[in-house]
Amino acid sequence: MRSWFEYECIDCGKRQPPEKRFYVCPECGGLLEIELDLQYISERLDREALERKPLNVWRYRQFLPIVDESKIVTLQEGGTPLYRCRRLEEKLGIAEFYVKYEGANPTGSFKDRGMTVGVTKALEFGVKTVACASTGNTSASLAAYAAKAGLKCLVILPSGKVALGKLAQAAIHGARIVAVKGNFDRALSLVRQICEKRGDIYLLNSLNPFRPQGQKTIGFEIADQLGWGVPDRLVVPMGNCANIWAIYKGFFELKEVGMIENIPRMVGIQAEGAKPIVDAVRKGIDKFIPVENPETIATAIRIGNPVNGSKAIRAIKRSGGTAESVTDEEIIEAQRELARSEGIGVEPASAAAIAGIKKLIERGEVDRDEKVVCVATGNVLKDPEEAVRVSESPLETEPEEVLKVVG
């Protein structure tokens, strides 16, 4: 390696120098990954120094591929709670059940971990504008980090399909918002075309190989919060599938440098109406067939052609994991149950992970003595309209009648 990190194509294995901007392999068009020189990191790793730093993404600076520390763009992302859920343990009949609450990030989703690294790279590359297509959270996060960095931000959204909270965030942070007819997959192909034509715009979608480098700190933090231990299973919702790969990669790197002993089984959950990866994993094939018209109440993961699908299949296979799908009804039930029995408010996509592991436990596919961690990817306030719709209506009453209706 010429540097302590490089791009590497996951298909042809060709490496590229990190000073240049790439989204896909220039040789074969395959997905790119950032590979770190783990030997180099391991030799320089000072665990005591690491543990003295606050729990957030930059605690793990030595694993984060940026060059110029003066350019770091941070809103103090990460350091999210790992909640032990005793009521759910009892209900589900499982030994240890935790929720890693990513809704506690600055913009309310795990995307902030990727954006602190991605937008820092944008400054290192010297661009003036950043762009993404999004089902909502990516755009909310990018808009905020672009604002912090003083960059312009362009977001392409599927018209009418983005939850209100997310739209509100992209708008208030001053992004230029373009809503296009069609679904997310269409919006993504459009923004890719724009960034190919316009060299001055840096693409910060799931294709961007640097973003997962920030998101892998979900795995770092979970291990750290468990006293450098790992759960038996790590459950995560899948949309574009960058996150399941990123978290897998986080555990992989920790194992390589000797900080943990095992990698948890990675369990990916999709919605019934958008489950190309679940279908591929069930069939045991490496190539997935895109879903033409994805549909689910969990708009964040309403994605039919996940760009990182093959990385997700790899993470699941290599870790001995699995994939499962859940219906909208199961998602809503899990969302309400988590909110009401544990006080954790999540958006539907995150509830999908809870619904999925519940199904696997009930079906006997998870041992009762296992330790399970579910990643709750986004805050309930992201989709307030849905939360109101699936809950009981307020009791409307005259002021004089209040005492009668309180029950």
Q: What one-letter code names the amino acid at 68?
A: D
- Of 62 and 189, which CB lies nearer to ligand AN7 in the complex structure? 189
Closest CA to 142 of 199, 61, 75, 55: 75
Residue 386 touches ligand AN7, criterion: CB under 6 A: no
Residue 109 touches ligand AN7, criterion: CB under 6 A: yes
Beta strands in 159-291 (DSSP E): 176-180, 201-203, 233-237, 265-271
Q: What is the layout of strands, in order, in the sheet containing 265-271?
A: 82-84, 96-101, 371-376, 233-237, 265-271, 322-326
Based on the number of CB atoms within 10 Å of its own CB, is 370 exposed (0-12), middle (13-18) or buried (19 or more)? middle
Q: How many CB atoms are located within 10 Å of the residue 383 CB?
A: 26
Instruction: Select the span of 30-38, 115-123, 129-137, 365-373 touching ligand AN7 (CB under 6 A).
Output: 129-137
Q: Which of 350, 356, 373, 386 binds ligand AN7 (CB under 6 A)?
A: 350
Instruction: Select the span of 90-98, 133-141, 223-231, 313-321 touching ligand AN7 (CB under 6 A).
Output: 133-141
- Of 38 and 221, which CB lies nearer to ligand AN7 in the complex structure? 221
Q: What is the layout of strands, in order, in the sheet containing 176-180?
A: 176-180, 152-158, 129-133, 201-203
CB of 334 to ligand AN7, least distance (A): 14
CB of 237 to ligand AN7, least distance (A): 4
Q: Which of 158, 214, 276, 378 binds ligand AN7 (CB under 6 A)?
A: 378
CB of 400 to ligand AN7, least distance (A): 43
Closest CA to 117 of 176, 186, 57, 174: 57
Residue 347 touches ligand AN7, criterion: CB under 6 A: yes
Q: What is the layout of strands, in order, in the sheet containing 5-9?
A: 15-16, 5-9, 32-36
Residue 134 touches ligand AN7, criterion: CB under 6 A: yes
220-239 footprint of ligand AN7 as x/- string (CB under 6 A): -----------------xxx
Residue 217 touches ligand AN7, criterion: CB under 6 A: no
CB of 376 to ligand AN7, least distance (A): 8
CB of 40 to ligand AN7, least distance (A): 28
Beta strands in 135-185 (DSSP E): 152-158, 176-180
Residue 116 touches ligand AN7, criterion: CB under 6 A: no
H helices of 228-383, in order, are 242-256, 276-283, 309-318, 328-342, 348-362
28-57 footprint of ligand AN7 as x/- string (CB under 6 A): ------------------------------
Instruction: Select the span of 60-68, 132-140, 195-203, 391-399 touching ligand AN7 (CB under 6 A).
Output: 132-140
Residue 267 touches ligand AN7, criterion: CB under 6 A: no
Q: What one-letter code names the amino acid at 236?
A: V
Helix (H/G/I), strand (E/B), else coil: 243: helix
Place of tokens 């312009």: 152
Helix (H/G/I), strand (E/B), else coil: 303: coil
Residue 30 tokens read as 């395959």
Size of the site for ligand AN7 (CB under 6 A): 21
CB of 365 to ligand AN7, least distance (A): 22
Residue 300 touches ligand AN7, criterion: CB under 6 A: yes
Residue 272 tokens read as 């019934």
CB of 38 to ligand AN7, least distance (A): 23
In the complex, the residues that contact ligand AN7 under the rule CB under 6 A are 109, 134-138, 206, 237-243, 300-301, 347, 349-350, 377-378
